[in-house]
Chain A
Amino acid sequence: MRMRTRFLAAVGVSALVAGGAIPALAQGVTEQDIINDAKTPGDVVTYGLGPQAQRFSPLKTLNRDNIKGLVPAWSFSFGGEKQRGQESQALIKDGVIYVTGSYSRIYAIDSRTGEKKWEYDARLPEGILPCCDVVNRGAALYKDNVYFGTLDAKMMALNVKTGKVVWRKDIDDFKAGYSYTAAPIIVKGKIITGVSGGEFGVVGRIEARDAETGEIVWKRPVIEGHMGELNGKPSTMTGKVNESWPGDMWKFGGGATWLGGTYDPETNLVYFGTGNPGPWNSWLRPGDNKWSASRLALNPDTGEIVWGFQTTPHDGWDFDGVNEFVPFDLNKGGKTIKAGATADRNGFFYVLDRTNGKFISATPFVDKINWAKGIDENGRPIYNPENRPGDPSQAQGDEKKGKSVFSVPSFLGGKNWMPIGYSPDTKLFYVPSNEWGMDIWNEPVNYKKGAAYLGAGFTIKPVFDDHIGSLKAIDPTNGKIVWEYKNKAPLWAGVLTTAGNLVFTGTPEGFLKAFDAKTGEEVWKFQVGTGVVSSPVTWEQDGEQWVGVTAGWGGAVPLWGGEVAKSTAGINQGGSFWAFKLPKTVASR
């Protein structure tokens, strides 16, 4: 029998507790609700507080002067005996919070009282091998369904009221190394997702399904040479065969789209980041290796690529540039440019024209970057050839390692998965970043499936003695860092900004913190009892402003040891959702 494919016949049962009255006027989430989400503080129906994912709330009730009155209203435990990383951003609609948990679980909670309405635990097969913890980053809402993806690469639609399965579709075969951890997005009645997975043979793609039936509408592989699909028929090829890949290596080129995307209703484009190319050693695949480590803009109706921009051509450091692309209006030289920004794993903060992908600027957002000297006027890195891991074909005789190089940032990135935020009020981006580098070399004493294998050896090291984490406010007009908050442990949580001139984020040390959005002064913190590696949200309810965050230490950081582990030693796991509110009596003082 085959252990790693056998299903545990344990759970998958939803506990339906019909607690609380369901508002009679609840209509489900409409397309208009999704597009207007950033302007409607009474609900949060999208990942990112709006399809552009600026993570900005127009709520002003809460500010630096009254935030001392922000108090916990309730806390909800995810239960279970295993916990690990909780990276989920909650959604709130009609008095119900929808939040996902580790191990592919989802909960519906009364947003006023914290009582559970229902819970759904996906049946996970034994032996799933997620590369980087058993996280889930959030759900999507549309009409009467709530959608989320599972670690065994399935997309689920559940009824919002009952938690019962409406449909369940395979994104791909988990046995072939596929998984799913991102929050899906809904665009014009379609649910649009990427894929997770780094095994040989996994080629990243973006795909759209009919949200009501789960049937595929289009597929877009992100690596050149692969054919797309539209309405069940082949559509167009991505790029051209062998334009930027040698031999047949494009067939297995990587580029996993594991972080999900954003959508800009103004330009009708969806934006996705693509991961690193394979194999890891860049010397084995000369060329730019398109479209790995890129941002792609797609037409959501057809899946056609409208533009692509590659942040790390010929990635040799596993920078895995999947990072989110956040649309915003850039005021430069008296003009307003429809722009977008992305803080790449490679340590540079890019501003692009979001209508055509044209390069506008790129500036470092972490210190001591050494893999590239900078980004040229066309947006290409100016490489430091001596800081590219060695060419294994040049290794001589007894040389047991390839040349080891110390490269900044480390492969976990100047910024990893944790989402950035943008405030149209301060006109600043808020970027949770990490200051770390890595020793990296060819490692010949490596085996896979019992056979010799050329792997990478690496050690991650902090760049500074006193901190790794660094929350930065960046002015997109000039790339200048306006303020910085330093944190001892690596930052792994998303940010939230508000019209009350506040920026929120969490720390592995267990604090949800608030900062003055203009100055970076820390104005509030609360200890949730375990690390925070999720994205906070805020909403208005019964005339009061609420803030919510998922708590539970985990993610990729604790999977790596060495110097970095010292900064997170002793942090306990957990699994809960915390809701805070500013009581009316305090707000009116």
Chain B
Amino acid sequence: MRSSRARLILAACGLLLAARFQPEAAARPLDQVVADGTLRVAVYGDNAPFSEEAAGKPRGIDADLARAIADKLKVKLDLRVVDAGENVDGDFRLNLWRGDLAGSPLADLMLHVPTDRQLALRNDQVFFTAPYFDQEIAFAYRKGALEGFDRLDDIGDNTVAVEGASAADLMLLTAQGGRFRAGLKHFKSFDEAAKAYLAGEAPILAGTRAAIEAALFAAKAPREDNPIGTVPSQGLVKTRWEIGGAVKTDSRDLAYAVGDAITALNADGHLKAICETYGVTYTPPKGY
């Protein structure tokens, strides 16, 4: 994939201004993907343990899943790490159907898409694949600091390390009329929040269960010293959602093929094995 991108950029060098303004390569249906022999997949940067760039290379559950899907479709993988826009609706526009204002090429498939009917209904330019993972908001806490964690009241006056404007943050900011606001310690990324928790700056870490598990795993922090708890959903902010993939709406056959690949990877234990590489418990979407 690196070499193909390098070629594209080299070609652009010769074309001066015109190159910047070439029409975007469109997202493609299955027959074109197969004929071309390459599947172009967009995953988010800074989204560990699902996707991130480490030492210039993409890694994570979504990166591995993209490769496994490409293998099932018997095509090569062209993986693109993209920055998240203001919302997922915008990411569909940027990555799948219209492209950005700078003319970056489109992808055939985007991963880490919340499988939500309302989201699908208002984005009729894209079509969703079957989901592959069940996300939920969770809390890790330092054993001894809390007696247990199964409701928000257990936070008490403790400090919670959290990524700013994340689902966990918005849930905590809005919960119980804002009673936990003063105790929130905000960070620009989940990674920074996890580091602060591990360094003892806060007795509680909030985030998604997968991100928390992966952070503890990477830091070799024993799970028995850092139990993970969840709370029932309340208020406006969702605490649980499924993630899948999305393609451009005229490429439904590609979405079905990707869905079949995901089903097979779930059935043969491949998805579970991928998750375990990162210390994450595979939580399949309901319906499997």
Which residues of A are interface residues toward B (Cβ below 8 A)? 1-6, 8-11, 13, 79-82, 84, 103, 121, 124-131, 133-134, 175, 198, 200-201, 246-249, 251-252, 278-279, 283-284, 286, 392-395, 399, 402, 442, 444-455
Contacts and interface: CB of A to CB of B under 8 A. Distances in A.
12 contacts: A1-B1, A2-B81, A3-B82, A4-B104, A8-B19, A82-B101, A103-B20, A127-B82, A127-B83, A247-B181, A247-B182, A447-B116
Contacts of B112: 449-450
B281 interface: no
A10 B15 contact: yes
B237 A444 contact: yes
Nearest to B211: A451
B17 A449 contact: no
Interface residues of B, number: 73
Nearest to A446: B87
A9 B238 contact: no
A121 B114 contact: no
A33 B10 CA distance: 45
B9 A9 contact: yes
B114 A1 contact: no
Contacts of B1: 1
A84 B103 CA distance: 13
A10 B12 contact: yes
Nearest to A130: B101
A134 B235 contact: no
A246 B87 CA distance: 26
B86 interface: yes
A109 B135 CA distance: 57
A128 B174 contact: no
Interface stretch (B30-38, B141-149, B160-168, B222-230): B160-168
A81 B18 contact: yes
Given A11-B20, A248-B184, A279-B165, A127 B86 contact: no
Most chain B CB neighbours (cut-off 10 Å) among A80, A248, A395, A449: A449
B2 interface: yes
Given A1-B80, A284-B173, 9 more contacts: A2-B45, A3-B80, A11-B20, A129-B86, A130-B101, A279-B170, A446-B88, A452-B114, A452-B238
Contact of B104 (A126, A175, A452): A126
Contact of A450 (B12, B47, B184): B47
Contacts of A128: 100-102
A129 B15 CA distance: 24
Nearest to B45: A2
B20 to A, nearest CB: 5
A445 B241 CA distance: 11
Nearest to B44: A449
Contact of A393 (B56, B164, B235): B235
A129 B85 contact: yes
Given A2-B45, A2-B53, A251-B186, A127 B102 contact: yes
A399 to B, nearest CB: 8
Nearest to A449: B84
Contacts of A252: 164-165, 186, 188
B177 interface: yes
Interface string B74-93: 00000011111111100000
Interface in B141-198: 164-167, 170, 173-178, 181-186, 188
A6 B235 CA distance: 40
Contacts of B137: 452
Contact of B87 (A80, A130, A198, A447): A447
B94 to A, nearest CB: 7
B87 A448 contact: yes
Most chain A CB neighbours (cut-off 10 Å) among B176, B182, B235: B235
A80 B116 contact: no
Contact of A3 (B104, B114, B166): B104
A463 to B, nearest CB: 26
Contact of A200 (B94, B188, B208): B188
Most chain A CB neighbours (cut-off 10 Å) among B20, B94, B176: B20
B113 interface: yes
A445 B116 contact: yes
Contacts of A127: 82-83, 94, 100, 102, 104
Contacts of B264: none
A447 B100 CA distance: 19
B236 A392 contact: yes
A450 B17 CA distance: 34
Contacts of A200: 164-165, 188
